[in-house]
Amino acid sequence: MKNLLIIVFIGVIAYPVLAQKADSRYFEMRTYHCHEGKRPDLIKRFQDHTVKLFAKHGIESIAYFLPVEESDNTLTFILAYPNRESRDRLWNAFANDPEWKAVFKQSEANGPLLAKIEQTFMTLAPELSSGIANLSTEARIVEMRTYFMYPGRVDAINARFRDHTRALFERHGMTNVVYWYTVEPDNAQPKLVYLLAHKSVEEAKNSFDKFRDDPDWKRVRDASEVSGPIVERIESKYFKALPFSPLK
C-alpha cells in the first residue's frame, strides 16, 4: 500500500511537468518576393540586422530558406512566437523599434526590396510532431509539402500520417522534420504543411518513387480512402537553408 501511494504521489507531481512539454508556439511563415536584383540586399539585411532584432523582441527564428529553383526570386522564413496571443504584440514591438526603422530606411535608400509578401500562420500538428527535428548531417535539401484536403478529411490525413506515412517516409530514406496545420481565416479547414529533408532533389524524387511503389503504402492508401479520397492536391517546393538559418 505504501509503495502504491508513492507511485501515485510521483505521478501527481510528474503530470504537470509532462503537460507543460506540449509545444504551444505559434508559427508564422513569410515568403518575400524580391524586386529584380534586390534579394542579395534582403539577405544581407536579415543576416546583419533583422534576425538579431527578432531575437531582441522575443521572436524565435526557425528557418531561412532560398528556393532551389534559380528563377524563383523569393526568400521564405519561419518564425515562432510563444503563443498565438503574443504574436501581434511582439511583431508590433519589432516593427516600431527605432533601430529597425533606421535599418529599413537605409537598406531601401536605392528603392524597395520587396514586391510582395505572403504570410501563413501555423501550429504544430500535435500527433505528428512533438517539435522540430534536427536535420541529419547528410541532409542538404529541405522539401516543403502542402496538402489541400477535401472537406472534412483532416482527421483522415492526420491518422494516415500518424499511423503509417511518416514511418514509410523514413523507410525510404526521407527525414521527417516537422508537421504543421495552417490557421485559416474564419476557421476554414486547415492545410497540412510539413518539411522533409533529403540529400538532393534527385534523391528526393527517387525516394518518393520508391515510397509510391511500396506495397505497404498502397495498402494503407487504399484502406484509408474506402470512404472517399482525402487529398485534393499537393504543392511541393525544394529549399536550401541560408548559412544563418537555425534549421539547416
The architecture that CATH gives domain 125-238 is 2-Layer Sandwich (3.30)
Q: Where are the domains of the chain?
A: 26-122, 125-238
Number of residues that make up the chain: 248
On the question of a common fold for 26-122 and 125-238, the answer reads: yes
Neighbours of 130 (CB within 10 A): 12
**Global pTM?**
0.90
- Which of helix, strand or coil describes residue 235? strand
- Cβ-contact 234, 161 below 8 angstroms: no
Is pLDDT above 50 for 22?
yes
Which helix (H) or strand (E) covers residue 65, if one does?
Answer: strand 60-67
Q: State the fold for domain 26-122.
A: Alpha-Beta Plaits (3.30.70)
Q: Is 217 in contact with 211 (CB distance < 8 Å)? A: yes
pLDDT at 134: 80
Of 17-21, 155-159, 166-170, the least confident:
17-21
Report which of 30, 20, 146, 142 is spatially closest to residue 94, judged by C-alpha positions. 30
Per the listing, cell 540586399 goes with 41
pLDDT of residue 126: 95
Mean per-residue pLDDT, 81-89: 98
pLDDT of residue 9 exceeding 80, the answer is no
Q: Angle at which helices 215-224 and 201-213 pack, to 10 degrees?
A: 70
Average pLDDT over residues 178-198: 97
